[in-house]
Amino acid sequence: DLGGDYRQPLFLPRLPNPIAYLFVGVMGISGILLSLGVRARLSAAIFSATLFFALYSDRLSAFTVSKIAPVLVFALAVSPAGARYGIDAMLRLRKARGEDERSKRTHRDDSVLPEQVRYGNIFFFQAFIVSMYSASGICKARGDWLDTPHLLHTHLHGSYQTIVSWWAANHLPAFSWNIFQGTTLFFELFAPLLFYFEKLRPYALIYGLSMHAIIGLMFGPVVWFALLMSIVLIACFAPASWLDAALSRLFPSPRSADPSSARSESFETKE
């Protein structure tokens, strides 16, 4: 049954309760395994399939995070996800070191844990997030964001209100909302340029993470969307040295051992 309405192009019948519980279990386990880097690509493929099924079971009631997550996870499934970080990567490194000790050889850790990835794997996620920002900015500009002052203030009084948004609505000066409105519109409209130029990229990253943190604190359930977007931002545009510093004890890197060799790019890539 293909439905018949463009807003619901695919209709999936309701699963029987036992199968529904099994489905939820598979979804949760595959997502956890992907996060831990256990058979990452296979886990991502299974997780993506379950997310697509859940989405199209009732697409009209799905939130934004439910609509974009299946695509992002599928992109992980067709990328070398888990090759550098995760439990499987850690086990590969330990196995290689054990073999080297037995044979009294030495090796470079980056021969087991790759330091580079083909650019297309990263570019998809980078293009996705800046395109999403830009499209959002265009929609805002064509709407009321250019000619309606204090527009953001009106968004704080709905069912998603939190204690943070209540406090901000009652204590921040009125002009601050116009500043937030203008800077957010500028950030979204010009996101492709802000993230393209290397000197502007750190400032764009900081603003984007701050924006999503504020959104998550002020709009209740939107915290999950804010968290997803923040993770994508960090993965796409944060300096690789950030990850090296955080994970170097588990996954040694030549860059972390030699600070002079650290690079400013978000990811090292090769053609």
Write the DSSP assignment of the chain as a string of letters.
---SBTTB----PPPPHHHHHHHHHHHHHHHHHHHHTSSHHHHHHHHHHHHHHHHHHSGGG--HHHHHHHHHHHHHHTTTTTSSSSHHHHHHHHHHHHHHHHHT----GGGTS-S-EEHHHHHHHHHHHHHHHHHHHHHHHHTTTTT-TTHHHHGGGSTT--HHHHHHHHHS-HHHHHHHHHHHHHHHHTHHHHHHSTTTHHHHHHHHHHHHHHHHHHSGGGHHHHHHHHHHHHHHHS-HHHHHHHHTTTS--HHHH-GGG---SSS-EE-
> Which range, 42-51, 85-94, 96-105, 223-232, has the best average confidence (pLDDT)?
42-51
* Structure-token pair, residue 166: 């209540």
Which of residues 96 and 70 earns the better pLDDT score? 70
Which of residues 50 and 249 earns the better pLDDT score? 50
* pTM of the entire predicted model: 0.78
What's the pLDDT tens digit per position in 176-186? 999 999 999 99
What's the pLDDT tens digit per position in 181-208? 999 999 999 999 999 999 999 999 999 9
Q: What was the pLDDT predicted at 266?
A: 42
What's the pLDDT tens digit per position in 130-188? 999 999 999 999 999 998 888 888 888 888 889 999 999 999 998 999 999 999 999 99
